[in-house]
């Protein structure tokens, strides 16, 4: 089963996204900050990362750039989640696979996550 690492400092949003993925039979692990995410990526090697941009300490864009610079973790697709108006430009600048605007629609969240998980699985064959 594929694992999605969900990183968001808002506990309500974090629980919401984890519940949407879990209801869709997608394993989700939640964290509240980017530094914990960086460590968890090294330990668990998730199949996809769903990350808020506006995080305390290390922000989501900086974390994505650190993932992209690593030869192994750089291949993990990242979907950015934010309420920022220039989200698409930020996605392009940091090299994220996709982006979702807040408030997140649960059906759209699941659809996008599945699409990226399927593409990752197909490229591994």
pLDDT 10s digits, 46-66: 999 999 998 988 888 888 888
Token digits of residue 16? 């919401």
**Angstrom distances, CA of residue 53 to CA of 31, 59, 119:** 13, 6, 23
- Which CATH number fits the domain that encloses residue 65? 3.40.50.2300
Cβ atoms of 40 and 7 within 8 Å: the answer is no
Number of domains in the chain: 1
DSSP 74-100: GGS-EEEEE--TTHHHHHHHHT-SEEE
What global pTM score does this model have?
Answer: 0.92
| Domain encompassing residue 69 | 3-124
Per-run averaged pLDDT (10 residues), the chain, 125 residues = 94 97 97 90 92 89 83 89 88 91 95 95 73
Question: Which pair of tokens denotes residue 10?
Answer: 């808002």
Q: Does residue 103 have a cis bond before it (omega within 30 degrees)?
A: yes
The predicted structure's pLDDT at residue 124: 67
Altogether, the residues listed in the chain come to a count of 125
What is the pLDDT, as a whole number, of residue 21? 98
């Amino acid at each position: 089963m594929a694992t999605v690492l969900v990183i968001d400092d808002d506990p309500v949003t974090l629980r919401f996204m984890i519940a949407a993925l879990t209801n869709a039979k997608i394993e989700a692990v939640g964290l509240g900050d980017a530094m914990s995410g960086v460590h968890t990526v090294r330990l668990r090697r998730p199949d996809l990362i769903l990350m808020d941009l506006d995080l305390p300490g290390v922000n989501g864009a900086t974390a994505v750039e650190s993932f992209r610079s690593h030869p192994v973790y750089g291949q993990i697709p990242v979907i950015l989640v934010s309420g920022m108006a220039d989200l698409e430009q930020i996605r392009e600048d940091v090299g994220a696979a996709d982006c979702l605007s807040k408030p997140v629609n649960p059906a759209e969240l699941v659809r996008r996550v599945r699409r990226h998980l399927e593409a990752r699985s197909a490229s591994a064959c």
